[in-house]
Structure 1
Amino acid sequence: MTTQSQRPRTISAWIEVLDAVRMPAFAINHERAHQALRQSNSSIREIADRIQASPVLALSVMREANRTSGERVAPAESLEIALSRIGLKRTEELLLNIPSVQPADIPLPLRQIIVISQQASQQANGLFASRLARLWQEIHWGSLLLLSPMWPMVAAYPDIFQAWEERVLANGENAATVEMELLGVPLFRLCLAMAEHWNLPEWIIQSHRLLSSDRQMLVKALHIAKENEHPLEQQQHLDNDPELRRWLTHPGNTALMANGLAFAAHHSWGSPHTLRWQRLIALYLQVPLPELQQRVHQQAVINARNHPLPGPWQPAVGLLWPWNSRFQLPRKAQAQKAPPGDIESWRKHCAELLQSQTPYANRHQLAHAASQALLAGGLQRVLIMQPDALENRLTTLVASGFPVETSKFTLNGNQSPILRKLLEKPLKLRIDAKNSAQYSALLPGKLKALFNSDHLFMRSLGSNVSLLIITDQNGLPFSDARLQLCEKTLQCIDRAVANFSR
C-alpha cells in the first residue's frame, strides 16, 4: 500500500505518472487479439471485435491512434478508425508491450472499475443505441472509456479506489474532501486533464468538463427530472428554457448518464443517487420511470451474463437483495485484527457443551450456550436458527451482536438453494472473498442485508438438522487460527446437539 507522500499531488505530476503505467490485460483476451492480428484473412471488424473484448487493449489502441494524429485531425471515435490510422503492424507491437495476466492476478480494484465501465457501456447500448442508431459507435466507446482516465490510477494505486469506496460510498464522507486528501487534486479535473492529454473522443472530454467545472445545466435538468410524475409540467419547463432543452437532447450526454447510473448502481439500487440518474434518463428518453427502471435492470443482468468475472461486484446480484440495501458498507480495514477471544471462558463453555448428560432443559438454552462459546472464541456476530419442517421456515433462537429486533428474524427455507441443502443434512459452508461472487446470488436477500459480509461461516447441525448457525467477524476475514477455533467450537456444539437429542 502506498502512502500519500509517495503519490503525485499535482495534475502535471499525475499525468506523467499515469502515462507511464502499463495496465495488464486478461491473458485469454490478449491471446485472442494476437491470433486475429496474425491471421492474414482477418478483417478490421474482426480484429476490432477481438480487441474490444478487453477494455485495456481497446484503450491502448485508441490512445495511440489519437496521440499520433495531428491537431487538425478529429480524435478516433471508434476502434475500427483507430486501427486504420495506426495500422496492424503498429497495433501488434503495441499489444506486445501490454502485460498478459490471469484475471485472479490483476488487482481487484482494477477489475472492479473496468466492470463498472462495462456496465455503463451495456446500459448505454441497451438504452440509447437503438434510438440513435447512426451514433452507436460513439455511444459505445464514449460510455466505455469515460472512466478510462481512472484506470491507470487504480492499476498503480489500488488502495486509492478501496479508500474512496470505503469513505465516500460506505461512510458517506464528502467526495471532494476525500479526493483532495487522496489525490491532492479534484478527481474530475484530473480526469479532464488526462482525457485531453490522450486526445480521447470529444464526448468524453465534454462530460469531464461538465463534471469538473460546469454543472449548471446538469443541475437544472436533474431538478426538472425529479417531477417525473408530471410529464406535462416537465415539458413546459423545457419549452420555457430552449438552451436547457438543446443541452439535454445532445447525444453526448448518453455517455455521462450511463456512467452516472453505473456508478450509483454499484452502491445501491434504491439510493437517491441511482434514482436521480434514472429520472434524468427517463426524461431524456421521454418514457415513464417504471418502464425505464425495468430496462435498466434487464441491461444489468445482460452485463453480468456477458462478463462473468470472478471477484468484482455485479449490480445485477443486488437485484436479489432488499431494495434499499447498500452494497458497500462500513467495515474495518482488512489489515486490522479481529478482537481476541477469551480462551479461558471458551474452554469452560466447550466443557459444558461436551457433557454427556445434557445440562440443557430446552433448545433455547442449548442455543444460548452455543452462542456464548462462539463469542468467547472471537466471533462477533452469531445467528442461531431452528427449522420448522412443516412450515418450511427458520426462526431465530439467538441473535448475538445484532440489534434487539433481530430476535424476530425469520427465513423461508425454500427461497434459497443453499438453505435447502443445509436443511437436508448436516453441512458446513465457508464463504470468503474468493467464492462470495459464486454464492452471493444463492443466499436470501434478507440474510445478506443482515450480515453484509464477504466472510461468513454457515453450519447445520443434528441428524435431522435441528439447528442452523451463521456467524462472522463483522465482515473481517477469518485468520487460520480463528477458523480452527470456530471449527472446534462447532464440533463441541454438534456433540451437545447429539446429546440433547438423546
Structure 2
Amino acid sequence: MQTPSPRSLEAWVQELDRVPLPISADLHSQLGHVLHDNRRSLRDIADQLQRSPVAALTLLREANRHGGGLSQPAESLEVALTRLGLQRSAELLGRLPAGDAATIPRALGQLLLISQHASQQASGLFGARLARLWQEIHCGSLLLLAPLWPLAAAYPGLLETWEQRVLAHGEPALAVEEELFGVPLLHLASRLAEHWRLPDWIAHSYHLLLNDRRLLVKALRIARDNEHPLHQQQQLDAEPVLRRWLTQPANSVLLANSLALSAHVGWGCEHSLRWQRLTGLHLQLPLGEVQQLVHQQAALSARELAPHDLWHPAIALLWPWSANHLRPPEQPAAPPPTTLQDWRAHCAELLRAPSPFLNVVQLTSRAREALNACGLPRILLLLADRQHSRLRAQQASGLDGTIAGFELDPAPSPLLRRLLERPAQLRLSPANMAQYSALLPGPLKALFPSEHLLLRSLAHNGRVVMLLVADREGLVLDDIHAQAFAKTSQCIERALEQFSQRGR
C-alpha cells in the first residue's frame, strides 16, 4: 500500500530527492562498458551516457551538488564527468537500480521519452545555429523535465491522473495540481531544479514560466501573426527588451520541451501551434517551414528511440490532424434537447416578419447564437464587400484571440472565389482535406486548426453577401450538424431578405 503523498513544497522536495531512478539492465551494462573503455574521448563518453536520461541526471546532479565549492553548476555532462572523474562516475552508475525494462513505471518511461524527444528537437532546430553551445542545448533540453522523473517513478498514478484531467480533458492545471499534489507542479519542478543545482538554462526556463510571463505572453501574441513577418519584425523593433529576450540561446531549452510536450497531446492542438509559432519567431522562419522541421525531428527521434510500448508523437503524423491519443474520439451527437429549444427560438427570431433587427450587427449576432445552439461552438461570420475583394469578420465565437479587424482577400484562394460566385456549402473531412487544404487561406486555417469544417456562402438577391465558417473544435461532424448548419443558413438568408424590406 502506497503511503500518503506529501502536501507541501519542502516535503515534496525531500521526498523526491531520495527517490531512486531505475534504469534498464541492458542499458546499465552498456554504459558501464563505455565508462571503462579507455579508447573513447570524454566527449564520446558523454554522448553515449546521454542515451540514458537517468544516467545523465545522476552524474550532473552529483557533480553540481558536491562540486567542491565550485560556484557555477556544470552546464553539460562532459563538464560533470571532468569534475567527478570516470571512476567516481562508474561507481555512481553502478548504484542505480537496474532491472527489466518492463518493471520501470510506464509514467516514468513516457516522461523520459518526452525528454529525449525534446533533446532531439533542440539538436535539430537549434544545434547547428548555435554550434558553440551544442552541449548546453542538448543537456538542458534533456533535463528540463528531470524534476518530474522521481514523481513519475514514486507516484505514477498521480501523474497519470494529472495527464488525463489536464492534458486530455482540459481541466484547469492549478486546481487539479492543488487537489493532487497540494502545490503547483511548476513550483515543485523549479524548487527541485534549484535544490539539485541543475544547469542555469533550466533555471532560466522555470523562471520565465513562473516570474516573467509578461514577456512570454507578448512574444506569443506577436508570433501569432505569422502570416506577416515584416509586421512581426516592426513590433519586435519597437520593444528592444523583448527582442533581446527572444533571441537568448537559453530559450531553446524551453521551446524544445514545449514542442515535445504539446506534440504528446496532438500536433493540431492550439498549444502545439502556439509553440510552433513562437519557435518560428525565434528562428525567423515561416510556420510551414518550422512545422516541417519539427516533424522531421520527431521522425528521427522515433527512429532512434524505437519505443515499442510507449507513445511517440511521430505516430500521430499519420493520423488526422485533430487526433488526441490521450482520449478516444468523442462520438458525434445531436445537440441536447435544451440546446435544440434554444436553436428553434433563435431561428424563429430570424424568420420573424417584419424583421425585428435594427441593424446588421443585431442580425448577425442572432445568427451566431443560432449556429452555436445547433452544436457548433467555433464560428466565424464574414461579410463580403460589393466587389467581392474583401471578406471582413462580423461575428465570431470560440476562436482564440480577437477577430477585430480580421479580413480575408479572396483573390489568392480559388475556393473562396468559387464560394463567392454563388451560394454553396462545403463540408471538409479527412477524406477530402488533402484536396481542399491548399485552397484555404492560411489565416483561416490558423483560426480553425481542424480537418472537420463547414463553409457556406449566403446570398441576397442572387449575390453572395456573407460567408459562414464553423466546426466542433476539431471533433467529427456528422450529418446532423451539417443539416442543422444548412437549415440555420437558410434562416439567416431569410432574415437578410426580411431586413432589406424593413420600412417598406
Shift of 1:165: 1.2
Quickly say closer, same or farther: Cα 1:150–1:97, change in 2 above 3 A. Answer: same
2: CA distance, partners of 1:85 / 1:157: 32
**For residue 276 of structure 1, what is the aligned residue in structure 2?**
274
Quickly say closer, same or farther: Cα 1:40–1:232, change in 2 above 3 A. Answer: closer
2: CA distance, partners of 1:238 / 1:97: 50
Q: Name the SS for the 1:319 alignment partner.
A: helix
**For residue 110 of structure 1, what is the aligned residue in structure 2?**
108
**For residue 137 of structure 2, what is the aligned residue in structure 1?**
139
**For residue 53 of structure 2, what is the aligned residue in structure 1?**
55
Q: Answer whether contact 1:171 1:330 (CA < 8 A) is retained.
A: no
Q: Answer whether contact 1:146 1:204 (CA < 8 A) is retained.
A: yes
The match for 2:146 among 145, 148, 156 is: 148
The match for 2:117 among 116, 119, 125 is: 119
| 2:220 maps to 1:231 | no
Unpaired stretches in structure 1, ≥5 consecutive residues: 332-408, 412-448, 451-502
1: CA distance, partners of 2:185 / 2:268: 25
| 2:174 maps to 1:176 | yes
**For residue 243 of structure 1, what is the aligned residue in structure 2?**
241
**For residue 485 of structure 2, what is the aligned residue in structure 1?**
none
Q: Name the SS for the 1:69 alignment partner.
A: coil
Matched ranges for 1:20-419 at <5 A: 20-70=18-68, 72-329=70-327
Query: 1:148-201, CA deviations, whole angstroms, 9 ceiling, x for partnerless residues?
Result: 000011111111221011101111100111111111111111111111100000
Paired positions, count: 336
Shift of 1:2: 4.3
Q: Answer whether contact 1:66 1:76 (CA < 8 A) is retained.
A: yes
Shift of 1:81: 0.7
Give the letter aligned to residue 258 of structure 1. Answer: A
Give the letter aligned to residue 328 of structure 1. Answer: L
Shift of 1:92: 1.4
Q: Answer whether contact 2:107 2:152 (CA < 8 A) is retained.
A: yes
Shift of 1:42: 3.5
Quickly say closer, same or farther: Cα 1:45–1:410, change in 2 above 3 A. Answer: closer
1: CA distance, partners of 2:199 / 2:68: 14
Shift of 1:213: 2.7
2: CA distance, partners of 1:13 / 1:216: 30
2: CA distance, partners of 1:285 / 1:208: 21
Q: Answer whether contact 1:282 1:292 (CA < 8 A) is retained.
A: yes
Query: 1:62-114, CA deviations, whole angstroms, 9 ceiling, x for partnerless residues?
Result: 00000112555311111111011011121111011101122222111101001
**For residue 498 of structure 2, what is the aligned residue in structure 1?**
none
Give the letter aligned to residue 325 of structure 1. Answer: A
User: TM-score, normalization: structure 1?
Assistant: 0.64
Shift of 1:263: 0.7
Query: 1:287-321, CA deviations, whole angstroms, 9 ceiling, x for partnerless residues?
Result: 11101101110000000000012211100000010
**For residue 382 of structure 2, what is the aligned residue in structure 1?**
none
2: CA distance, partners of 1:22 / 1:236: 50
2: CA distance, partners of 1:202 / 1:36: 28
Query: 1:114-134, CA deviations, whole angstroms, 9 ceiling, x for partnerless residues?
Result: 111111111111011111111
**For residue 464 of structure 2, what is the aligned residue in structure 1?**
none
Give the letter aligned to residue 123 of structure 2. Answer: N
Give the letter aligned to residue 61 of structure 2. Answer: R
1: CA distance, partners of 2:230 / 2:143: 35
Q: Answer whether contact 1:25 1:98 (CA < 8 A) is retained.
A: yes
Query: 1:2-57, CA deviations, whole angstroms, 9 ceiling, x for partnerless residues?
Result: 47xx0011111111111111100122221111112233444323322331111101
Quickly say closer, same or farther: Cα 1:16–1:410, change in 2 above 3 A. Answer: closer
Q: Percent identity?
A: 54
1: CA distance, partners of 2:80 / 2:70: 16
Quickly say closer, same or farther: Cα 1:319–1:410, change in 2 above 3 A. Answer: closer
Q: Answer whether contact 1:29 1:50 (CA < 8 A) is retained.
A: no
CA-based RMSD of the aligned residues comes to: 2.1
Shift of 1:145: 0.4
Q: Answer whether contact 1:33 1:50 (CA < 8 A) is retained.
A: yes
Shift of 1:258: 0.7
1: CA distance, partners of 2:244 / 2:70: 27
Give the letter aligned to residue 38 of structure 1. Answer: H
Q: Answer whether contact 1:29 1:51 (CA < 8 A) is retained.
A: no
2: CA distance, partners of 1:40 / 1:285: 40
Give the letter aligned to residue 33 of structure 1. Answer: L
Quickly say closer, same or farther: Cα 1:410–1:314, change in 2 above 3 A. Answer: closer
With 46-55 and 212-221 compared, the bigger mean Cα shift is at: 46-55
1: CA distance, partners of 2:2 / 2:324: 28
1: CA distance, partners of 2:176 / 2:199: 28
Query: 1:344-403, CA deviations, whole angstroms, 9 ceiling, x for partnerless residues?
Result: xxxxxxxxxxxxxxxxxxxxxxxxxxxxxxxxxxxxxxxxxxxxxxxxxxxxxxxxxxxx
Q: Answer whether contact 1:238 1:244 (CA < 8 A) is retained.
A: yes
1: CA distance, partners of 2:430 / 2:197: 56
Q: Name the SS for the 2:72 alignment partner.
A: coil
User: TM-score, normalization: structure 2?
Assistant: 0.64
Give the letter aligned to residue 132 of structure 1. Answer: L
Shift of 1:212: 2.1
Q: Name the SS for the 1:134 alignment partner.
A: helix
Q: Answer whether contact 1:170 1:330 (CA < 8 A) is retained.
A: no
2: CA distance, partners of 1:102 / 1:169: 29
